[in-house]
Structure 1
Amino acid sequence: MARYTCSFLLSINFEQLLPLIVELLQDCSLNVMYYTSDYVMAREIPGTVPFSKLVTVEALIDKSTATETETRMSIVMKNEELPLQVENHCRQLFEYIKEAIEHSRHWHLIESLAG
């Protein structure tokens, strides 16, 4: 199973972050399946890649450490594909979503740490 994670520190209030993350994921052609005040789950829309390569994205907003101006958020992206190649489908989509978050005009990126 391919799995990629990244943690971000963003200059935005956590209450403003959730609707913007939902919008960003939808703009990246993902179907938002579920969300709460601190969690979003989205998935690739079937039809473009084989079922085993469909990527699921989970965004977790850390409300416990959030301040009025800064919020920490983590994303986890995974699929059933074995990551036998460095440039697999999950990795490519991970890089695309990571760049979309890092370059969004809705907040200022303070820190980004991929794992």
Structure 2
Amino acid sequence: MARYTGIFTVAVKIENLQPIFTEIFSYCGCEIIYNRGDYLIAREFPGQVSFSKLVTIDITFDRLTNTTEKTRINIVIRNEELALKLDNHCRQVFDLLTKLIVENSNWELLESIIEYNSSI
């Protein structure tokens, strides 16, 4: 199972994140399949890659305690594909997603921690 994680701190209100991530997911070929406000699950559209390569994205939003303008975004991207190669499908989607987060004009990126090539 391939699995990649990232933690981002951005200057934006938590309430504004869902519409932004809906747009980001569409660029990644994914759609939201579960929404609890502070927790989203998105899945890649079937048909583009084999079933074992379909990516699932879990995102948790945590408001930082001292402010309403800073939010921590925890991301886990995974699929059932064995991560035998560094450049696997899950890693490609993770790289695209992190690029879209880092370069997004809807917020100021304050901090990022990215863990590559984590497999179970």
What is the TM-score when the length of structure 1 is the normalising length? 0.93
Aligned to 2:108: 108
What is the CA–CA distance in structure 1 between the aligned matches of 2:22 and 2:36, rounded to whole Å? 11
**3-state DSSP of counterpart to 1:3:** strand
Aligned to 1:33: 33
Q: Can you give the 5+ residue segments of structure 2 that lack an aligned partner in the other structure?
A: 116-120
- String of CA shifts for 1:45-78, please: whole Å, max 9, x gaps: 0111000000001111013637222110111000
Alignment of 1:63 onto 2:47: no
What is the CA–CA distance in structure 1 between the aligned matches of 2:13 and 2:79, rounded to whole Å? 30
**3-state DSSP of counterpart to 1:7:** strand
Identity %: 43
Alignment of 1:82 onto 2:49: no
The alpha-carbon distance between structure 1 residues 67 and 18, as it changes in their structure 2 partners (threshold 3 A), is: farther
What is the CA–CA distance in structure 1 between the aligned matches of 2:26 and 2:65, rounded to whole Å? 26
Q: Can you give the 5+ residue segments of structure 1 that lack an aligned partner in the other structure?
A: none
- CA RMSD in angstroms, aligned pairs only: 1.3
**3-state DSSP of counterpart to 2:92:** helix
What is the CA–CA distance in structure 2 between the aligned matches of 1:30 and 1:2, rounded to whole Å? 17
What is the CA–CA distance in structure 1 between the aligned matches of 2:7 and 2:48, rounded to whole Å? 28
For residue 29 of structure 1, report the CA deviation from its aligned partner.
Answer: 1.7
Alignment of 1:44 onto 2:59: no
Aligned to 2:95: 95
